[in-house]
Structure 1
Amino acid sequence: MSEQSFPEGIERGFAAARQIADAVLMEGYVLYPYRASAAKNRLRWQFGVLVPPEYTRQGGEHSHQRTECVMEARRDDRLAVELRFLRVQRRTVERAVEEGGFEPVEELELADRVLVEWDEAVEERVELLLDVEELTHEGLQHGFRLPGVGSTELLHEHGSAVGRLVRRREQLDGVVRLRVEELPGPYRAQRLTVEVENASDWTPGRGAGRDEALPRSLVSTHLLLGLEHGRFLSVADPPEWARAAVKRCRNERTWPVPAGPDGGYQVVLSSPIILEDHPRIAPESLGALYDATEIDEILALRTAALTDREKREARGTDERAGEVIDLAESMPPEVLERLHGAIRGLREVTGCGPDPQQPWWDPGSDPEVDPEHDRVLVDGRQVGAGSRVLLRPGRRRTDAQDLFLDGRTAVVEAVLHDLDGSVHLAVTVEDDPGADLWRAQGRFRYFQPDEITPLEES
């Protein structure tokens, strides 16, 4: 679709956010060993897939996603919206026959690559620039249509046509709905709701499943949102005055995070992959490897070690896979060494305990730390070893096992300080029949001060 001309400030913020968005858009597109024949490349498109409504009614995936966040838009402010997704392009392979014409084949081997059937992806964008004031009443609904299109690419070797690639994209229809709600309170703030829905008409044949629905799906769907003058509030860490309003935001199959340049809040990336606020691409990264389940260093070494046949299969699978092969083969040793590890920051560690043989990281080496007697102030009360507390695990920084303890009472066994200056409380659960055994072995559960409520004065 045609590109919208955004204001300079918003476009600058979008340009920075697109570096992260591109990684989200292509995550899992093709996995090591980058061949269509690999088992892990046979079930694709795992993130942000919005299928046709008919497939949802059959019990498949969802056809819509919803983003809600709180923003502080100024008067006469404008909101920029960039919906981005991948459109599946189905590619088949045909071989030239002596009688003339072409016939479908499962594989066509050329000198530099081995071609097979494969689903490619084309990036699509829907861009809107809207007055915030116009969205505060009935909101806005914007429909879009991408017509079906096909193409043919002839393949030549030694001056003769040996085959062709036939590509086809199906028609896609979608809807973007936007609404702004003014929030009560001492500050001018609004709740922004953006819904994206796949409205494609798809009539499945008998036995049709996900593979048939994908060409009419929006894949890796995500949003960039930008304010010309205002700012967005973090969903994960809002200011205290907005915490209740942010808590009422409902995000479905997507998660909004601030992603503007220099830690700013003018731009939000709403991603189907949960990210932290102000996500960044590691400066050591050389390019897209599409397989974030692997460490870049190991992935580059494994890719470079593929056999010539495997590399030809990867190049024939997809142009992007071929670029990964070229990247791994051309990576100089000094660049590969950068991937081995990076130090983001250092701080000085001084002082030495009474025993020179005692490690510097052992709490016993620091006379200012005494886990059994140290206290920490929580809700105006001193909490330390022996204190009874109510457990309230933080949902964004804990695991399922700790969530099972929500609302249980526990006894603090020690107050611990880590090297970053954070405080942790070692506890045993009161009604745990194995508490005495854990205590004897020095095995505890750990919570931060804002995850507990004191039950009595200590």
Structure 2
Amino acid sequence: MSARTGAGSGTAAGMAAGTAMDTARKVADAVLYEGYLLYPYRASAAKNRLRWQFGVLVPPAYVETAEPSASVTECLVEGASNALVRVRLRFLHVKERRVERAEGDGFVPVPRLEAGGTTYLTFDEATEREVEVVLAMPALLGVERTVPVAIPGDHAEEPVPAGNGAAPLGRVVTEHRPLRAVLRVTAESGAGPYGLTRLRVRLENATAWTGDGTREGTREGTRDGTREHALLRSLVAAHLLIGVTAGRFVSLSDPPEWARAAAAGCVNENTWPVLVGEPGYRDVVLSSPIILYDHPRVAPESPGDLFDATEIDEMLHLRTRTLTEDEKREARATDPRAAEIIRMAGDLPPEMMERLHGAIRHLGEPARREPLPWWDPMSEAEVSPGSDSVTVAGVEVARGSRVRLSPGRRRADAHDMFLAGRTARVEAVLLDVDGARHLAVTLEDDLGADLHRSHGRYLYFAPDEVEPVAPDGEAGA
């Protein structure tokens, strides 16, 4: 759904602001679907049973989970006294999907139905909603403009065919509950030096809530007054894209020194406004329920949305490919977007998979710095881990010595059983605050020993947990 109201939406300036906001849409979409479904993308997965975690604005009368019913965005604009302000509200509207089995003259809700090789699951989906308003900045100064938002409900039924002309086995019922929200927009001039204006947008969920299974304008519901039911009347992943046709926003994350006090005075509740678009552009702000940095980007190598903006695309694609056919079948039945992920992972060509291994963003001369010693010799002049030694079974053991590990005497770590009997090279002899000696070692058969050595990452053992090994490999002095 898209609604546009207010003056200026047809002007060249208004169109320019709209173009900038469309550029920011890809990042906003990542926010919109953050956590929508998580690997392994199946309804039965534990992590997909408690859903809708970010940007949820519940009906104000619903207080069981203490989740907010409103958000407040305050941001700073310079040189925008005659600007048009474009506010675009975006959120997910939960769509109940209920599978019902035919029984007698009626239907009974069930978790799933199998028919003709197709699986039908009871599992909620979501529909994108978008509402946009364009307002003139002069009309906002010192005045609060109220913009009502009404999203109608709907109800649909689809039979589950039995085949061979028989009566349907059941039906799939989908339903949106009606939603009501309010945008309250105002501005304050003189919020800081150099003509700064503070823009304030309050978003409220104004949907009625009675806590039972009956909802205004819909048939009698089938769920009780739990969070699952409240989500049907909530704005999920709600966020704002705010653009101006003149002037520029000021970063609240890293404001210039002259605007730092004014930025600190901005109050943001349940949201975090950041600059979006290409670096250097300051005409659009994303007010996100997730903390982001200015000018966030989705990696260009990402072939599609995996519903996790911090995702490691390669890992998730590879793991999706390892799902069994039964698991893939359930994922496809879980949600159309999950079905698309299964298709995308299976069809991804090798050259695109290679791009997921890594990318070089910048080429240039690397900074040359002197390597810092992992041990500060100035801390204790009498201690030198690289040259100190300790006597073990009558043999002086120091850096470079070979030892065989015998951690079974102490077994301080459950993983010690895998190290017993393996040979290692001593990298340092350490002294702790109690005066006890410890050996830092690397395993001789560890292919990553050089890497561990360069990073100063060692295994540590007491002297009585090792046996000296002669150069020919025999234990003893």
Matches within 5 A, 1:182-197: 182-183=189-190, 186-197=193-204
What letter corresponds to residue 78 of structure 2 in structure 1? E
Which residue is equivalent to 1:143? 148
Which residue is equivalent to 1:21? 28
What letter corresponds to residue 143 of structure 1 in structure 2? P
* Cα distance in 2 for residues equivalent to 1:292 and 1:133: 37
Say yes or no: does 1:210 pair with 2:266.
no
Aligned-partner SS, 1:316: helix
* Cα distance in 2 for residues equivalent to 1:27 and 1:173: 23
Q: CA deviation at 1:340?
A: 1.2
Which residue is equivalent to 2:354? 337
8 Å contact from structure 1 (residues 80, 227) kept in 2: yes
Deviations 1:1-60 (A, max 9, x none): 44425622111111111100001000100111111111110000000000011113x452
* Cα distance in 2 for residues equivalent to 1:292 and 1:257: 16
Which residue is equivalent to 1:240? 257
Deviations 1:302-361 (A, max 9, x none): 11111111111111110000000000110112211111111211332487xxxxxxxx76
Say yes or no: does 1:82 pair with 2:82.
no
Say yes or no: does 1:254 pair with 2:271.
yes
Which residue is equivalent to 2:334? 317
Which range is displaced more, 218-227 or 327-336?
327-336
Which residue is equivalent to 2:325? 308
Aligned-partner SS, 1:20: helix
* Cα distance in 2 for residues equivalent to 1:262 and 1:136: 29
What letter corresponds to residue 371 of structure 2 in structure 1? D
What letter corresponds to residue 33 of structure 2 in structure 1? M
Cα 1:371–1:323 change in 2 (3 A) is farther
* Cα distance in 2 for residues equivalent to 1:303 and 1:13: 35
Which residue is equivalent to 2:159? 154
Q: CA deviation at 1:110?
A: 4.0
* Cα distance in 1 for residues equivalent to 2:366 and 2:153: 63
* Cα distance in 1 for residues equivalent to 2:175 and 2:370: 61
Cα 1:346–1:219 change in 2 (3 A) is same
Long gaps (5+) in structure 1: 352-359, 365-369, 373-433, 435-458
What letter corresponds to residue 225 of structure 2 in structure 1? A
**Match among 287, 293, 301 for residue 276 of structure 1:** 293
Cα 1:39–1:186 change in 2 (3 A) is closer
Deviations 1:151-192 (A, max 9, x none): 122344757555431111112111111110012555111001
8 Å contact from structure 1 (residues 73, 227) kept in 2: no
Aligned-partner SS, 2:150: strand
8 Å contact from structure 1 (residues 113, 315) kept in 2: no
What letter corresponds to residue 196 of structure 1 in structure 2? L
Which residue is equivalent to 2:175? 168
TM-score, length-scaled by structure 2: 0.70
8 Å contact from structure 1 (residues 87, 219) kept in 2: yes
Say yes or no: does 1:63 pair with 2:69.
yes
TM-score, length-scaled by structure 1: 0.73
Cα 1:210–1:238 change in 2 (3 A) is same
Which residue is equivalent to 1:120? 125
Number of aligned pairs? 360
Say yes or no: does 1:362 pair with 2:368.
no
Say yes or no: does 1:130 pair with 2:135.
yes
Deviations 1:87-126 (A, max 9, x none): 11100012456x6765432211245542211111011112
* Cα distance in 2 for residues equivalent to 1:17 and 1:159: 51
8 Å contact from structure 2 (residues 248, 282) kept in 1: yes
Larger Rg computed on CA atoms: 2
Which range is displaced more, 252-261 or 272-281?
252-261
What letter corresponds to residue 269 of structure 1 in structure 2? L
Aligned-partner SS, 2:354: helix
Matches within 5 A, 1:71-110: 71-96=77-102, 102-110=107-115
Q: CA deviation at 1:227?
A: 0.3
Q: CA deviation at 1:363?
A: 4.0
What letter corresponds to residue 321 of structure 1 in structure 2? A
What letter corresponds to residue 92 of structure 1 in structure 2? R
* Cα distance in 1 for residues equivalent to 2:277 and 2:158: 40
Aligned-partner SS, 1:114: strand
What letter corresponds to residue 87 of structure 1 in structure 2? H
Which range is displaced more, 157-166 or 135-144?
157-166
Aligned-partner SS, 2:232: helix
**Match among 227, 242, 246 for residue 229 of structure 1:** 246
8 Å contact from structure 1 (residues 155, 164) kept in 2: yes
8 Å contact from structure 1 (residues 113, 313) kept in 2: no
Which residue is equivalent to 2:19? 12
Aligned-partner SS, 1:15: helix
What letter corresponds to residue 242 of structure 1 in structure 2? A
Aligned-partner SS, 2:183: strand
Aligned-partner SS, 1:121: strand
Cα 1:361–1:44 change in 2 (3 A) is farther
* Cα distance in 2 for residues equivalent to 1:113 and 1:340: 36
Which range is displaced more, 155-164 or 1-10?
155-164
What letter corresponds to residue 222 of structure 1 in structure 2? H
Instruction: Give me the identity figure in percent.
Output: 51
Which residue is equivalent to 1:394? none
Which residue is equivalent to 1:328? 345
Long gaps (5+) in structure 2: 214-223, 379-432, 434-477
Matches within 5 A, 1:361-440: 362-363=371-372
